[in-house]
A and B are shown apart, each in its own frame.
Chain A
Amino acid sequence: MNAVMFKSHILVFAVAGLLTAARGGVCMAAEYSPGASDSEIKIGNTMPYSGPASGYSAIGKSLAAYFAMINDQGGINGRKIDFISRDDAYSPPKTVEVVRKLVEEDQVLMVFQSLGTPPNLAIRGYLNDNKIPQLFVGSGADQWNDPRRYPWTMGWQPSYGTESRIFARYVLDNLPDAKVAVLYQNDDFGKDYVNGMRSGLGDKAGKMIVATQSYETTDPTVDSQVSALQASGADVLVTAAIPKFTTLAIRKVYDIGWRPTQFVNSVSTSVGSVMKPAGAEKSAGVMSATYTKDPSDPRWQETPEYKDWLAWMKKYNPSVNVADALAVYGYSTAQTLVAVLKASGDNLTRDHVMHVAASLHDLSLPMLLPGITISTAADDYAPIKQMQLQKFDGNSWKVFGDVIKGSGR
C-alpha cells in the first residue's frame, strides 16, 4: 500500500475516532442494519449493461473489480463485500424495479454509485422514504446536494454546474469581450452546463452567449449544429457532450476552419477515447477542467499511485481499457466507499454509515489530482468541490492555474 493511501486511511480513522467519541463512548457490540453482518456487507448498484448508455458499464466492471481486490486482501474490518450490480438499461421504470429488488429481496445495506441522472431521480423518493443510503450517485447533477430534503442521497463528483461556472470565470477573467456558443446534449446533463454558464457569466450572460445548439444521442453527427454555431460569430465554444460527440465536435470545428477557444466538459477528456481519435492537431489547445488524473498522462506514470492503479487494472480489471477515464472514476468512488465503511467500524447501521459519509474530512485518494480532497458535512453533500483547469497540448493534458473551489450551488 502506498504512502498516500495510507495517509488517507489514517485521516479516516481519525475521523471515525472523533465520531465515536462524539457519540459518547466506544460501541462494544457490533450493530447492523439489513445487508451487514459479521462476515459480509451487501452493496447494491444499478448500471446500464445493455442499451444505448452501455458505454458506462465500464464503471460497473471497475467497481466490481475493486471490491474483488479488497476481498482478496481480507475485506473491510474482516467483512467481505458482496457487490450486487444489476442492469437497468438506463430506463427509470426499470431502475425502480431493480432497486426494489436490491432492497427488498437482496437486502442490501445501501445503493451505491447507481448510474445516471434520470435513474437516480426515479429512486430517490423510494430510498429516502425507506431511509436507505443512496451513496455517491453516479451523476454530476446539482441536485444530489440537498441534505435537507433528501438526507439519504449524496453525490460524489463536482457538479456539472460548478464546472461550467469555472469555465465562465475563466472567460470573464481572460476573454471579457468573448462571444460564447454552447453545444449541449438535450437532457439534464447538457442543460446543467448551459445554466451554469448563464449563472457564471451573471449579468453579461445575455450579451455574451450568442448561440446554443443541442443534439440527441440518436443523432449520427453534430456537423449541422457546429456549422450553425460557427455562423453565430462566436469565438468561444463550450461543448457539453458525452465522449463520442465531443470527438465529433472537435473534429468538425477544425475541419470547417473555425478556431474558437474551446472548452469540453470533464466527462469527455479521455486522451485515449476522445482527444486522440479527434486528431492531435485538431484537439490541441482545447481546455477543460478536471479532478482526476488522466492515466495516459506521462506525468503520472512513474508515481507509485499510478503503478498501484496499473497493477490493479492488469490483475482485476483486464477487460477495461487502461486509458479509460471511467475506470479511474470507478476506482476512486469505490475507494471512497471503502474509506467510509472502514471508518464505520463495527457499527454498520444505515444511519451510522450515512453519518460517516457526511463527516469526511480532507480525504485524499491516489487517482485524484494533488490538492483535491473529499470533504462532507451534515449540510454539505458535495464530496468533491474542487477542479483545476487544463489544456490539451496534442499529447496530454497540462493543468494550469490553481485548484479552484467551485461556488457550489
Chain B
Amino acid sequence: MEKRFAAPESVTEGTSAAAAANTWRWIGIVALIVIAAALPFGLSKYHVFELTMVMIYAIAVLGLNILTGYNGQISLGHGGFFAVGAYTAAILMHRYGVPYWLTLPPAALIGFALGVLFGLPALRFEGPYLALVTLAMALATPQLLKYFDTWTGGQQGINLAKPTPPAGLGLDRDRWLYFVALVVLLIAIRTAANILHGRTGRAFVAIRDHPIAAAAMGIDTAKYKTLAFGISTLFTAVAGALAAIVIGYVSPEGYSLFLSISFLVGSAVGGIATIGGAIVGGFFIQFVPNLANDISDAAPWAIYGLAMLLFMYTMPRGVVGTLWPRIVKFVAARKIAAQFAVSQREGR
C-alpha cells in the first residue's frame, strides 16, 4: 500500500514555537481537568452518565489509536476486546463477588495477554489482510459468548449489581462512576503519553513509517508490533470493563461488529495519531448517532454516515490531527511577529 498513516506534521521544528505551544498545552490540559471535575455538579444525572460513556469510549479509542495511529495497523476487531474486558468484569463481579474496582486490573491483564496472542499471527498481515483477521475477532465474539453460556450467561447476559459510592463523599452513583471513569481516563492518557513519547513510541512510529528501514536500524519489529497490539487491547479491555460496571448489564448483542466500526470511526474523526483525538472520538461515538436519530427517525444512519463524510472532508486527519498543527503554527506565527515587533522597536 502506497498511502501511509500519516502523523500530524512534526511539532519539534522551531523549538521556541513548540515551547510556547507546550505552555499553552499545559494551561489547556489543567483547565480541561478542572472543568471535567466541576462538570458533574452542574449537570443532570443522565448527562453525567452520558459523559461517563464518552470517557469510556475515549479510553477504547485511545487504545485503537496506539495501534492504528502510531503503529499503522488497522483493526476491525476492537469491539471484541472491549467485550473481553466487559465479560471479565461481569464474571468476576457476578460469580466471585469481586468488588467492581478490583476487576479493572484483571481485565487489563487479560486484554493485554489476548492482544499479544492475537498480535502474533497478525504480524504476518498488513492492510486489508489485517482488517480481515481483526474482523474475524469481531464476528467470533458474539458467537463465542453465546456458545460458552455457562460462563457468560449466553443470550440472557449477566445483570450486575450497581456499585455503591463510598459513604461520606455525598456523591450519588452516577457522579461517583463519572469520577472513577475520569481517573481511569487520566491514568490512561498519562500512560499512553509516556509510552508513545518514549523509546517504545519512537519504535512504533519508525515501524509505521518505514518497516524495512526500522528493521535495518535494529528495531525488533515483531516484538514492537506485538507489543503495540497488546497495549492497544489492554486499554480497550479496561474501557469494556468500565462500561460493564457503568451500564450494569452485558450480553452478546452489545458487542457486534458495529461497535468495532464505531471505534475505528471515532479514531479517524478524532485524529488517529493523537491522544486528544481519542476524547473527540468518544464524543462522536456517544452523541452523533443520537443527534442523527433526533434529526431523522426514518433514516438515522444516513445522517450518521453524512456526518462521517463531512468530518473526513473538512478534517481528513481528524479534528485534533488537523487543528493542532494549525494552532501550533498560529502560535508560532504570533511569536515570530512579536519578536519581529520587539526587534523593530529595539532597532529604533
Contact = CB atoms under 8 A, between A and B. Distances in A.
A319 to B, nearest CB: 8
Nearest to B146: A186
B301 A50 contact: yes
Interface in B28-70: 44-46, 49-50, 53
Contact of A93 (B45, B247, B297, B298): B247
A86 B293 CA distance: 7
A97 B50 CA distance: 8
A188 B155 contact: yes
Interface residues of B, number: 32
Interface string B232-257: 00000000000100011101111010
Interface in A83-111: 85-87, 89-93, 96-97, 100-101, 104-105
Contact of B258 (A87, A89, A105): A89
Given A118-B157, A125-B159, A101 B46 contact: yes
A216 interface: yes
Given A91-B259, A93-B249, 4 more contacts: A60-B297, A89-B289, A91-B253, A100-B46
A104 B46 CA distance: 6
Contacts, number: 83
Interface string A124-146: 01100000000000000000000
A218 B139 contact: yes
Interface string B1-25: 0000000000000000000000000
Interface residues of A, number: 31
B103 to A, nearest CB: 17
B276 interface: no
Contacts of B254: 91-93, 118, 122
Q: Which 7 A-B pairs have the closest CB atoms?
A: A104-B46, A188-B155, A87-B293, A118-B253, A122-B249, A50-B301, A93-B254
A93 B256 CA distance: 11
A118 B155 contact: yes
B143 A121 contact: no
Contacts of A93: 243, 247, 249, 254
27 contacts: A49-B297, A50-B289, A50-B300, A51-B301, A87-B297, A87-B300, A89-B289, A91-B254, A92-B157, A92-B251, A92-B253, A93-B247, A96-B247, A96-B248, A100-B46, A104-B46, A105-B44, A118-B155, A118-B157, A118-B251, A119-B253, A121-B159, A125-B248, A126-B248, A188-B154, A216-B143, A218-B139
Interface of A: 49-51, 60, 85-87, 89-93, 96-97, 100-101, 104-105, 117-119, 121-122, 125-126, 186-188, 191, 216, 218
Nearest to A54: B301
B143 A49 contact: no
Contacts of A105: 44, 46
Contact of A187 (B139, B146, B293, B300): B146
B156 interface: yes
B258 to A, nearest CB: 7
Contacts of A191: 155
A113 to B, nearest CB: 15
Contacts of A96: 247-249
Q: Which of A93, A117, A218 has the most CB of B within 10 A?
A: A93
Given A118-B155, A216-B143, A100 B49 contact: yes
